[in-house]
Structures are given as structure tokens and as C-alpha cells.
A and B are shown apart, each in its own frame.
Chain A
Amino acid sequence: MQEAGELGKCPTGIRGLDEITGGGLPRGRTALVCGGPGCGKTFLAMEFLVHGAEAFGEPGVFFSFEESEAELKENFRSLGFDLQGMVEARRLAFDHVHIERSEVIETGDFDLEALFLRIEDAVETVGARRIALDTMESLFSTLPNETVIRSELRRLFRWLKEKGLLTVRSIRPTHLGLESHLMEFQDEILRLDPAHVAFDPLSDLINAGERTMLRSM
């Protein structure tokens, strides 16, 4: 296991992001990318993994709590990303966490150990050094018992830190309030503002939106 607390920052490979974060993200900490639908937060999270694998030889894991693996591959293929090829080269692994609220009934105490096992499996499959968690806060609306979810997410972030994984999480602005208890694990909060981000997949997203990304921590 990689020791936590490696000093210094790791460049993400996304030029604008590395500039405004003063050199990248520290290992074991989480960058929170906050933006509404269509702001490009999924794009940024994926770009973080693609750059990591291609420029730094660091495999990545993408955990999607909304779109399926097939949808993501299709969407990114039209933007020029060969995610399937990266999966075949074992530089990228996906998992799609999808729960229908309507089919869930609570019957007593539970934890998220099964989810963490899936994350661990995916990380081990490719030897991941980076992980993207795309709108994981959906768990709060699909599972009962907010208190359990909160304490389990803290457990997850401690684990990610121990593993020294570079982590990017996307989150919707309306859900930031659910996250206040997790701030000790989060170094950077990047806000993507739809009014200003010119979404041009052929140029660097972050450069396009650089002015609007506020470094708040």
C-alpha cells in the first residue's frame, strides 16, 4: 500500500486546473468539482483520468452514479476519447452504481461495505492511482438513513487517503450542503459556472472556463 502524506502536489495534466491549484492536487486529498447539469463536471472528471493514464502512466477508475458505462463511452467517443481502448489496455476501469429508490426498503442497520468492495476491486483491477467519483451524493437520495451515508463516506475518504489515490469528485451545487462534514478531506473546491464556461471539447475545458473557477480553500 502506498503511504499517505506524500508531500507536494501531483499535476492533473489539465493545464488550467494545474495552474489555478498551484501545481495540481495533493495525493490522498479530494478535489470537489461543483456545477449544475451541462457544466462539464463529468467531462472534467474523465479528462483527469485520461490525462493521468496517458501523460503520467497512472491508471484510473471512474465511478459513475448516473450515466452507464456504455453511455459514457458513447458520449466521449463523439468527443474523440477512446475509453473502450483504455479499458482494454487496462488503463481505465468503470463501475456504474445505479439504485432505484422505488425498489429499496429499509429493514435495519446497514453499511456501504459492498460499495467499498466494488471500489477496491476496480482500483486493484487496473492498479489505479486516480479515481473519479461522479455525483456520488446521489446515494443520499436513493438510500435511507443520511447519518449512515455520512459516516460511511468519511470511512471511504479515509481509505482513499490511505491508498494515496488522487481523487476528483463531481457534485451538484444544490448538494454541497450535504458535504460539509467531509470538508476535512477536501482541498479544492472548483466551481464550474455554466454562464461562463464555453464548452468546446476541442480546446481545453478548464482553459476556457478558467476565469470562472474559484479557488475557495
Chain B
Amino acid sequence: MTSTQEDHTAFPPSPDAGGEAGPRWTLRLYVAGMTPRSLTAIRNLKDFCRRRLAGRVDLRVVDVYQQRGLAREARIVAAPTLIKVAPEPVRRFIGDLSRTDALAHALGLEPEGSP
């Protein structure tokens, strides 16, 4: 279907990311095939990480069609599903991530646009 069955992207530190000081996020995005909805979710998440979590995120995209068995293992029902693995508590974000405000809120980030 596509070569990006597992896309492991550790974003390089941004100049103002504060190095080791910031929390390190572990995020896993599960998609079912490279559908338009999956691609939207991947794009939205990468944009979000670049803007808000640069240098502080370990992000991996998993296509459950390419890695069968992982849907069951990770208890995935809806696609796309983003799992915040760390820091705890574990949270599941269901949908194409077009509403990143919910994501920012759950990650404890300030709303975008605030001073």
C-alpha cells in the first residue's frame, strides 16, 4: 500500500525547546490503511508536533493493515487512534486530529494563540 508502514520520527530539537528540561512525549498513531482520513491524521499530527512538541516527542505511525495483530495488541477499535503512551496517564485520541485543541489540552499545553 505504501512504504511508510512504520514511520518513526523523532523531531530534531528546536532552538528554543529547552533541551532536557521539557517533558518527553511518546505518541503512537494507529491508522488503518493509507486512506485520505489516515493521511489527514498524519499531517495534522506532524504539524502539531512541529509547532508544539518539537524536540520533545517520540512519534511513530503504525498502519494496522501492514502490521496485523497490532490492532488487537494495542486494543485499537477506531481508526485513526492516537495513543499518548507517556507520560501517564495513557490517553486515546480518536479521529483525524483536526481538533488539536483537545490534544493540546490533554497534553497540558497552553491553548495556541495565548500569550
Contacts and interface: CB of A to CB of B under 8 A. Distances in A.
Interface stretch (A13-21, A106-114, A209-217): A106-114
Interface stretch (A115-123, A178-186, A188-196): A115-123
Given A110-B79, A111-B79, A114-B77, A104 B71 contact: no
Contacts of A112: 77-79
B113 interface: no
Interface string B65-76: 100110110011
B55 interface: no
A14 to B, nearest CB: 29
B64 A114 contact: yes
B46 interface: no
Interface stretch (A26-34, A35-43, A92-100, A164-172): A92-100
Given A104-B94, A105-B94, A143-B94, A110 B89 contact: no
B92 to A, nearest CB: 5
Interface string B11-52: 000000000000000000010110001001100100000000
A139 interface: yes
Given A121-B68, A144-B94, A107 B79 contact: no
B74 to A, nearest CB: 9
A103 interface: yes
Contact of A118 (B40, B71, B80, B98): B71
Nearest to B82: A107
B40 to A, nearest CB: 8
Given A103-B90, A114-B30, A98 B97 contact: no
A118 B68 CA distance: 8
Contacts of B90: 103
Contact of A117 (B64, B92, B94): B64
B97 A117 contact: no
Nearest to A144: B94
A106 B95 contact: yes
A117 to B, nearest CB: 5
A113 B33 contact: yes
Interface string B88-115: 0111111111111011001000000000
Contacts of B71: 114-115, 117-118, 121
A114 B78 contact: yes
Interface of A: 95, 97-99, 103-115, 117-118, 121, 139, 143-144
